[in-house]
Amino acid sequence: HFDDIQELKEWHAALVDFHRPALHREKLEDAVEKHIIRARAVTTLKAKISNTEKALIEVESAYSDPYIDKKAVDHYKQAINQFLTDVQVNDYAEKARKHEFKGHYDKAADAYLDALFHIKNDAVPDELQAEQILEIERMANDLRKRANEKG
């Protein structure tokens, strides 16, 4: 009878070891998802950034977890950094559209240039944002031309 209990304990331990990486990955995913959902739900830029940074902290802590694949952690980190950049660039773009609507073309171009500065100095490689960079440069240049034509 003792052998059966010992075998059951060993089988249980092996089963737990087998599932441990998936459990750790799911825990990370749940924590990150919670913060990203909050970041999407809040309205202020500061709150969006704060919640996204909390998700990044969760991901950074996963590098020390021996049960989580580091390539998966890299993938999460890149996706969250891209989300953070998108949040910030969208804020600059909204400011630019408001300035353009008011006829303040120089200020609108400056807002797009602020977005461009942010993109070129963020944690996401520029080659992954090449289309976005070109589009923002085009918009800023078009607005500068409109400002010069306006006088």
Q: How many CA atoms lie within 13 A of 144 on its CB side?
A: 10
Q: What is the mean pLDDT of residues 27-50?
A: 96
> C-alpha angle with apex 129: 125 to 133, nearest 5 degrees?
120
Cβ(108)–Cβ(96) below 8 Å: yes
Asked if the model's pLDDT at residue 115 lies above 90, the reply is: yes
Cβ(108)–Cβ(145) below 8 Å: no
> C-alpha angle with apex 124: 65 to 48, nearest 5 degrees?
80
Q: What is the mean pLDDT of residues 42-58?
A: 97
| pTM of the predicted model as reported, rounded to 2 decimal places | 0.82
Q: What is the mean pLDDT of residues 3-14?
A: 77
3-state class (DSSP) for residue 56:
helix
Task: Report the pLDDT value the prediction gives residue 17, as an integer from 0 to 100.
Answer: 76
Q: What is the mean pLDDT of the chain?
A: 92
